[in-house]
A = this chain, B = another copy of it.
Amino acid sequence: MSDTALPPIFDADFQHHFHDLLEWRRDVRHFKTDPLPHGMLEELLDVANLAPSVGLSQPWRFVIVDSPERRTAITSNFEQENAAALGDYEGEKAKTYASLKLSGLHDAPVQLAVFCDPDPDQGAGLGRRTMPETLAYSCTMAIHTLWLYARTKGLGLGWVSILTPDFINQALDVPENWQFIGYFCLGYPQQNDNVPELQRRGWENRHAPEILRR
């Protein structure tokens, strides 16, 4: 423990607000175009870096995407894959799918890709011998950390997974062996809501968790 720090106490008021944060997080696809305040993105990435990682390996690699050419290439890839996905549905489900807005790629001021180093020196392999996928899981928790912290700042995050992973590595000129985890839109949301957008738009409902006892 650092000499100056005392363990914090999280009181009932904090717990209540933290529950609100989880309840109002949302995957955002409707963004205002307003930019983030200066230094905010760097602050968010520093906070993401506090996430748990297997063996303290910190395998996350953040790529901030500003180039209009690269953004266009990624948006085209999304549009192709989204059209292909639409082909999997029929009838009413296809109509509903076609009506969904599944990315904020045209509006979000910040775009960010996250990759996983599949064999980092850091951590010396601890904890991942039988489960190398824990590296990718660590990256996912870094994203989730950023997501929640961004929401406390009034910012929304949208996870775009309707993409071709290999293509993203090429489009962003990163090492071939880096594992693509996800592509993210970040900015101020057009609205806040405590119900998932896919539920509001009739795609799916949230259910109680499935719990077994053994």
Binding site for B on A (CB under 8 A): 1-2, 5, 7-8, 10, 14-15, 17-25, 27, 42, 45-52, 54-58, 60-67, 70, 81, 84-85, 88-89, 93, 97, 100, 102, 122-131, 133-134, 136-137, 140-141, 144-145, 147-149, 151-154, 159, 161-165, 172-174, 181-182, 192-196, 198-199, 203-214
Contacts and interface: CB of A to CB of B under 8 A. Distances in A.
Contact of A213 (B46, B66, B89): B66
Contact of A63 (B50, B63, B66, B214): B214
A100 to B, nearest CB: 8
Contacts of A84: 129
Nearest to A22: B50
Given A63-B214, A85-B129, A206 B174 contact: no
Nearest to A48: B209
A140 to B, nearest CB: 4
B130 A174 contact: no
A1 B194 contact: yes
Scoring A8, A54, A89, A165 by chain B CB atoms within 10 A of each residue's CB, the highest score goes to A8
A154 B193 CA distance: 29
Given A2-B194, A18-B18, 6 more contacts: A8-B20, A10-B153, A48-B209, A58-B207, A140-B144, A174-B212
Given A161-B134, A163-B130, A19 B47 contact: yes
Nearest to A171: B214
B195 A2 contact: yes
Contacts of A172: 214
A195 B1 contact: yes
B149 A22 contact: yes
Contacts of A2: 194-195
Nearest to A133: B136
Nearest to A50: B22
Shortest beta-carbon contacts, A-B, top 10? A7-B192, A10-B152, A56-B204, A49-B209, A8-B20, A137-B140, A22-B50, A56-B198, A141-B144, A140-B140
